[in-house]
């Protein structure tokens, strides 16, 4: 088998976000799922990515598989579950673009296809030459998907690749949220790059200071703590700094954090890890990632809103 050329593998959930407004009822249904969002964002920016996850054999699952193909995201690792449906998440959205969880299309969060990613059905050749494995933490809630995540970590480390962990804490995905803290901390031990929101940092690590977090965990090469419009504080390669948020007209905040991860990884793949040896270069990488996130919020949909490289370059040029 030929080795894949994708420098990045994103493993985890791909799903459908169905948005509701209080006065108008169901507004729209759009593709989502944090690892899938990152893979699509990378592809739009020009960095090839492979996605590994599970969908149902239903119409949503077929539509999501077509989407990956259309965006030229590798989908050789996409599994189709014969009985479990594709996850549909109900989201309430307000006039400012902020959203809140409103439920699932099934009462049991373990009943969806993404909870049953079968490790034995993942081809280890997909990890040949991979530089970065992108993981969230939602899959840890489900034993089969958790096994697949940990096997993927082992495979990417055998390739001398790095694990990029975006905490993406969502207690509603867990049948027993009390289990989460220990499992997330166990996975964190394998990460090289950590991205989390300020509220997630406080919950998981009792600190929102990336320098302090990195000092507690010297195996981390980078820590990025995002705070929405307040920007991002980071510690990368020994350099710390802050990138202020960009002032944009927000339509939908869904997937902004995933777009940030895609922007950062695109820069890391383009510039190389040697960029982390230079303070200005690290700052530019985070600023680029922040611009990708900001632009994504100006349009509806975590994936549909993601920008092209030309849009990001123009956005940053106008804000020098």
- Residue ranges of domains in the chain: 9-317
Read off the pLDDT of each residue in 43-53 and give the average, rounded to a whole number: 98
10 CB contacts (<8 Å, ≥6 apart)?
A: 35, 36, 38, 39, 42, 49, 50, 51, 52, 133, 134
pLDDT band with cut points at 50, 70 and 90 for residue 36: very high
Per the listing, tokens 């940990």 go with: 150
pLDDT at residue 23 in the model: 60
> pTM of this prediction?
0.95
**Order of all β-strands in the sheet with 232-236:** 74-81, 49-56, 8-11, 132-135, 162-166, 193-197, 222-226, 232-236, 239-243
With a pLDDT cut of 70, the percent of the chain lying above it is 96
Read off the pLDDT of each residue in 111-137 and give the average, rounded to a whole number: 97
E runs forming strands in 161-264: 162-166, 193-197, 222-226, 232-236, 239-243
More confident site: 132 or 29: 132
- pLDDT tens for residues 160-193? 999 999 999 999 999 999 999 999 999 999 999 9
Read off the pLDDT of each residue in 47-62 and give the average, rounded to a whole number: 98
* Mean model confidence pLDDT for the chain: 94
pLDDT at residue 320 in the model: 82
- pLDDT at residue 4 greater than cutoff 70: no
pLDDT at residue 185 in the model: 97
CA-to-CA distance for 75 and 69, rounded, in angstroms? 7
Please check whether the domain covering 9-317 is classified as CATH 3.40.1190.20.
Answer: yes
- pLDDT at residue 72 greater than cutoff 90: yes
Read off the pLDDT of each residue in 246-251 and give the average, rounded to a whole number: 93
**Order of all β-strands in the sheet with 25-32:** 25-32, 15-21, 88-93, 99-104
- pLDDT tens for residues 261-303? 999 999 999 999 999 999 999 999 999 999 999 999 999 889 9
């Amino acid at each position: 088998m030929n080795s894949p050329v994708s420098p990045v593998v994103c493993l985890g959930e791909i799903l459908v976000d169905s948005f509701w407004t209080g006065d108008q009822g169901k507004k729209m249904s759009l593709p989502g799922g944090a690892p899938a969002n990152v893979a699509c964002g990378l592809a739009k920016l020009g960095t090839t990515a492979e996605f590994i996850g599970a969908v149902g054999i239903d119409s949503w699952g077929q539509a999501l598989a077509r989407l990956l193909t259309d965006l030229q995201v590798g989908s050789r690792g996409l599994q189709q579950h014969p009985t479990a449906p594709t996850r549909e998440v109900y989201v309430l959205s307000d006039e400012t673009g902020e959203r809140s969880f409103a439920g699932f299309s099934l009462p049991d969060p373990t009943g969806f296809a993404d909870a049953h990613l079968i490790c034995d059905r993942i081809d280890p050749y997909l990890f040949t030459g991979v530089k970065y494995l992108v993981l969230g933490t939602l899959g840890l809630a489900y034993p089969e998907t958790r096994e697949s995540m940990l096997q993927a970590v082992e495979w990417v480390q055998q390739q001398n690749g790095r694990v990029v962990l975006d905490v993406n804490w969502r207690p509603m995905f867990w049948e027993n949220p009390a289990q989460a803290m220990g499992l997330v901390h166990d996975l964190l031990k394998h990460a090289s790059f950590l991205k989390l929101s300020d509220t997630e940092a406080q919950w998981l690590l009792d600190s929102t200071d990336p320098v302090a977090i990195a000092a507690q965990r010297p195996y981390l090469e980078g820590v990025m703590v995002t705070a929405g419009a307040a920007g991002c504080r980071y510690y990368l390669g020994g350099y710390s700094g802050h990138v202020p948020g960009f002032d944009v007209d927000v339509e939908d905040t869904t997937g902004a954090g995933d777009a940030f991860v895609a922007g950062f990884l695109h820069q890391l793949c383009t510039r190389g890890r040697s960029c982390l040896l230079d303070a200005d270069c690290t700052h530019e990488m985070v600023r680029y990632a922040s611009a990708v996130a900001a632009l994504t919020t100006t349009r509806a949909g975590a994936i549909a809103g993601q920008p092209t490289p030309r849009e990001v370059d123009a956005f940053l040029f106008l804000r020098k």
